[in-house]
Amino acid sequence: SSHAILAAINEAKDAQAKGEDRTILFNLSGHGHFDLAAYAAYNAGELKDFDFAAGATLCDDAL
């Protein structure tokens, strides 16, 4: 998990150095058990396509 935090910090420092505004998202999961079901669904070909454009709208609305 610490590698995800460090990557987010590095991105923030890079944005600050470049004078850029950035939204930085990262996933922090304390237990791999929760990821296993997603991997099983992926390997079984059971994941559904996600409409990222619609998801972006939902995120924008939430912010």
Question: pTM, whole model, 2 decimals?
Answer: 0.46
Question: What is the pLDDT at residue 32?
Answer: 66
| Rounded mean pLDDT for each run of 10 residues along the chain, 63 residues in total | 87 97 85 76 89 70 68
| Spatial CB neighbours of 1, under 8 Å, sequence gap ≥ 6 | 28, 29, 30
Whether 39 contacts 47, CB under 8 Å: no
Predicted pLDDT of residue 49: 83
Output the pLDDT for position 35: 72
Instruction: Say how many CA atoms lie within 13 Å of 45 toward its Cβ.
Output: 0
